[in-house]
Amino acid sequence: MSNPAAARRYAVALFELAGEKGMLEEINNELQVVKETFVQNPAYVDFLENPKVTQDKKAASIHEVFLSTNDMIRSTLLLLLKKRRIDCTVLIAEQYEKLADDQQKRGYAKVYTVKPLNEQEKTRISEVFAKRVGKDTVFIENIIDSSLIGGMKIRIGDTIFDGSVRNQLNRLEHQLISGKDLR
């Protein structure tokens, strides 16, 4: 079972090393490919975690499968293999991506609407909410949710901005039930 604390330590170390070499984005992109390889091929991960397979065979496999990958990533994978932490690979890639996003002031938003947003609307929402959350860029993922009735709900990290008609109706209902002044 992967260890989030260990994964974070490896991600930070790799991030710092990549930063020293001016390769933050290159390493991030390649790590995401490694992550996808692990996610899409659970049998390969099982092979790497199998105690009956020798370390030499596992290492040879990593060299072969990730031949075109940067040496820094291959060395990290071999270290994870040696330390019996190969199960942390996906978490390391995710943690590294968060570090890169923070450093580049990038954010990701899930925007829930009743109908699909056009590119102009996505751009405007990105600009407005990037400023509100202190990011240079916010990438928009539009999710259709007919239960909102109208308006939109935006989730950026742990923050939710709810301007949906459904939310407004819920607040109105709560005020009516509690007898609070509606002004």
Q: DSSP letters of 90-107?
A: HHHHHHHHHHHHHHTTEE
Amino acid letter for position 109: A
| Alpha-carbon gap, residue 171 to 7, rounded angstroms | 41
**pLDDT digits 0-9 by tens, 53-97:** 999 999 999 999 999 999 999 999 999 999 999 999 999 999 999
> What pTM was estimated for this model as a whole?
0.75
What was the pLDDT predicted at 175? 85
**pLDDT digits 0-9 by tens, 131-171:** 999 999 999 999 999 999 999 999 998 899 998 888 888 88
3-class secondary structure, 2? coil
Domains recognised in the chain with CATH numbers: 4-102 (1.10.520.20), 106-178 (3.40.30)
